[in-house]
Amino acid sequence: MSALLDALYHGQRDEAERLLLVCGADALTIHEAAAMGVTSRLQTLLDADPSLVNTFGEDGFQALALAVFFGHSEAAELLLARGADPNSRRRRNSRERSAGFRSAVGLFIAAGVRQAVNNSCREAGSRGPAISLSG
């Protein structure tokens, strides 16, 4: 796993930002760009190779899961628009169980995957989405 992702996973956002400044956005992988919310880099990578949208990172997650987990809705929207699979699971047979996932339920519903979101929330121990579906 990259030092940047490792810093993010350990709650060291300042260190991740420092690494981004040192290395530059052009050096980010699709997974790092999603985790940091660098949509310009995501666009560049996906323009060059659209198949990257659903690739798994070393940690077993796809870019969409990282964007959602770290709270980057604009990055998540871009990934969904480019064909990211919102129904995908972590490669190592684990399920998403994060608060970040639940906070992004509205984004997934907007993408037309209401049933998948309901199923994922139930599997994660919730009775359903923690958002209002009205108006």
Q: What is the pLDDT of residues 90-114, one digit of tens each?
A: 665 444 444 444 445 455 555 554 4
- The top-level CATH class assigned to 3-123 is mainly alpha
Q: What is the pLDDT of residues 34-71, one digit of tens each?
A: 999 999 999 999 999 999 999 998 888 899 999 988 98
86: CB partners within 8 A, 6+ apart = 64, 80, 108, 111, 113, 116, 117
Q: Per-residue confidence at 87, pLDDT binned at 50, 70, 90?
A: confident
Residue 86's alpha-carbon distances to 10, 93, 99, 127, in angstroms, are 25, 16, 16, 19
Residue 7: pLDDT above 50?
yes
